[in-house]
Structure 1
Amino acid sequence: MGAHWYESSIDRQLREAAERGEFENLAGAGKPLTGYGGEYEDDWWVKDWVRREGATAGVIPPTLALRRSAEDLETVVDRLPTERDVREHVAQLNARIDKARRGHLDGPPVILPPFDADAVVTAWQERRR
């Protein structure tokens, strides 16, 4: 009894396409991968996304915009005139964080914890003195 050989439907489709020559003469065949051998940059994927999507330099994925908003929280709330405005801003930011953590925003994953509105308000008040 010979060994049984299993070929998944995907494997079969790939094999048949290769037999038909569908992978020959593809654009980029024999050319180096983009960026191969270059310096590694931490934000390589952002630059690649911008290039692929044809986005302008000022457009970033929503989850990255959220990270930037979290980093800029102190600067933004310092411009707000009332405690109510600060609390509202923190609530809106926390809602965006929750949405991102649930996977409802495009871009890389977000692991930001929500902000404590009381702590943000206390720090805001101390900086105003």
Structure 2
Amino acid sequence: MATDPEGLWRVDRQIREAREAGELDNLPGEGQPLAGLDDPPDEMWWVKAKLRREYLSFVPDAIAIRRELEALLAALPGLPEAKARELLVALDARIRKMNAMVTSGPPTTVAPLDVETLLARSRK
């Protein structure tokens, strides 16, 4: 790295110039302690921070499909039979595909659906 005539590293000079120009004033978090400084070490801290900052979430496929199944079963009684059948058949295809392949995260414990039995139960 090169120094300038004053003996400062280039980056130090850039920081000094930015400070003098006021470019470092009123930054978010100014005067606040660094978040997570006292937390135990976590290798995935940056991933978790990115997910929080971007309002994203990650749920493993096995859990996501379980949640989707629960939501669909709860909604079945209010759906027309043709729509319910369409949704059950589509979800069953995804469950069968997931059960046939290796996925990251927890294993899927969702069995293939018996569409006719589920439709009959939802109509009672």
TM (normalized to structure 1)? Answer: 0.49
- CA shift at 1:95, angstroms? 0.9
Match of 2:86 in 1: 88
After TM superposition, list the pairs within 5 Å mapping 1:65-80 onto structure 2. 65-80=64-79
Residue among 73, 84, 106 paired with 1:108: 106
**Percent identity between the two aligned chains:** 28
RMSD: 3.0
- CA shift at 1:85, angstroms? 1.3
Q: Which runs of 5+ in 2 are unaligned?
A: 1-39
Query: 1:99, 1:59 → 2: CA distance?
Result: 20
Are the aligned partners of 1:63 and 1:110 in contact in 2 as well (CA < 8 Å)?
yes
- CA shift at 1:101, angstroms? 1.0
Query: 2:81, 2:102 → 1: CA distance?
Result: 29
Are the aligned partners of 1:101 and 1:110 in contact in 2 as well (CA < 8 Å)?
yes
- CA shift at 1:58, angstroms? 4.1
Following TM superposition, the consecutive aligned residue runs of length 4 or more in structure 1 with deviations greater than 4 angstroms are: none
Q: Which runs of 5+ in 1 are unaligned?
A: 1-31, 35-46
- Describe the SS at the equivalent of 1:111: coil
TM (normalized to structure 2)? Answer: 0.51
Are the aligned partners of 1:103 and 1:109 in contact in 2 as well (CA < 8 Å)?
no
Pair member with larger Rg: 2
- Describe the SS at the equivalent of 1:96: helix
- Describe the SS at the equivalent of 1:124: helix
